[in-house]
Amino acid sequence: MERTRPTAFEKSDSLAISDNAAGVTLRRNQPLTNWAGPAMLPPTPSPVWPSKPVEANMRPLALGYFRVSSGTPDEQVKQFRADIAAYAEREGFTLAEVYWDHYESQTSGFSALVDALEHGDARSVIVPALYHFARSPGIQLSFKEMLERKTGACVVVMYPSPEVPV
């Protein structure tokens, strides 16, 4: 059963609030107008008006990356993924994907990460620590700087090392 009650608006506004089983709805019987006439949306596409719907509080898109030894238990791999996801949530990122590699094998997690950064919308990479790029501190920084320079992404280190400047 729908019932309509009067509102604080003038009768010329033709606005009514209805209570129904689905909740409260607001109806307008006439088109929206402004001082210049009927309100119109700008034509799409437009450089000013986005052609895609945009969330009001859009969170920056991020990717995750870590590297483990071949003998690392699956539980620890899952824990790294969970830690990166929790960090992304806490710091205000939307985590799209987490890439990972084994130190000893020639897996392609890092190259897939670079491809995703070059061809996607993510502009941040979350890593647990710089040692996930390489074992040597000098090479760790080289990987970080190369990744930032090549892709334009920002590398976010969850647990920075006091010995290695980030």
CA separation for the pair 44, 20 (Å, rounded): 35
Q: What is the pLDDT of residues 123-145, one digit of tens each?
A: 999 999 998 888 888 888 898 99
Which has the closest alpha carbon to 121: 87, 97, 143, 91?
97
DSSP character for 58? P
Q: What is the pLDDT of residues 17-58, one digit of tens each?
A: 555 555 555 555 555 555 555 555 555 554 554 455 555 457
Which CATH number is 61-157 given? 3.40.50.1390
Q: What is the pLDDT of residues 68-97, one digit of tens each?
A: 988 889 999 999 999 999 999 999 999 999
Domain ranges (residues) in the chain: 3-38, 61-157
